[in-house]
Copies of this chain bind each other. A is one copy, B any other.
Amino acid sequence: MSVNFEPLPFEPGYRRVASAIAARILDRTLRHGEPLPSELELAAQFAVNRSTIREALRELESADLVARRRGTKRMVVARPATDQVAGRMRHALTLNDVTVREVWAMLEVLEPPAAEAAARDRTPAALGKIKVAVDGYRTRNSSAQDVVDGVGGFFRAVAEATGNRVLPLMQEPLLQLLEAALRVVIDEAPPARSRIAGAQAKILAAIEAGDAATARLWMVRHVRDFRRGFELCRIDLDTPVPPPSPP
């Protein structure tokens, strides 16, 4: 019987430094908003070169564990924001050739319960945000960009109204992909704009009335409508979601 040894994991210095700092952030020793020591000071504390510290900082920066306030030098401890994390996940999804159908299927799972929960747990402030989103879309939906923004804004407002902070994070990458797919087809389906506005109004009314069942029902229809839109445009649902456009 031979004893099997795992290969000793060699971790380069920049990674050990990054892990050490990340651990301090995650266990709240370094708190949100707190400024990090300067690079030279960190280099002295860890007894490594400043270059090593800088490579570690780039890693933490990419993970959104540290950030820099606009127009300032010192880095501060950051709390990863929704869109940042979603960007990572969107990369993963596009590189795995996820299809429009898969994204849509997840929306079909997430959104009806979200509407239901929003109708139950809405607050006046959250309800106001949904109203703003619905009104904004109704008054401004001429360009494709307007439609994409309006659709995303409505879903985001509903998700926020649930009070569950996990939902916006899970939803965000899906919305980013939906927006990318929507941008391509929105001008091919003229009646889509008004159907969207109608569904949003119905859902808003149900949420305002606290009618969870109706909110869910109309959200089911609303999500299904996106699929129908793609089908009407003869878009194969099994094509991969389009890669991010270079802005």
Contacts and interface: CB of A to CB of B under 8 A. Distances in A.
A32 B95 CA distance: 9
A208 to B, nearest CB: 22
Contacts of A23: 246
How many copies of this chain does the complex contain? 2
A7 interface: yes
A193 to B, nearest CB: 27
A71 B105 contact: no
A71 B174 contact: no
Looking at chain A's contact residues, is the secondary structure mostly helix, strand, loop, or mixed?
A: helix
A224 interface: no
A4 B61 CA distance: 29
A144 interface: no
A37 interface: no
Interface stretch (A62-70, A129-137, A146-154, A226-234): A62-70
Interface string A93-119: 111101000110110011001100100
A88 interface: yes
Contacts of A28: 243
Contacts of A63: 62, 88, 91
Given A26-B243, A58-B59, A109-B113, 17 more contacts: A14-B58, A18-B62, A25-B95, A32-B95, A51-B54, A55-B55, A55-B58, A59-B61, A60-B62, A64-B88, A79-B96, A81-B92, A82-B92, A85-B89, A102-B166, A105-B166, A106-B170
The 9 A-B residue pairs with the shortest CB-CB distance in the complex, in nearest-first order: A62-B62, A80-B92, A58-B58, A59-B62, A109-B113, A55-B58, A85-B92, A58-B59, A79-B95
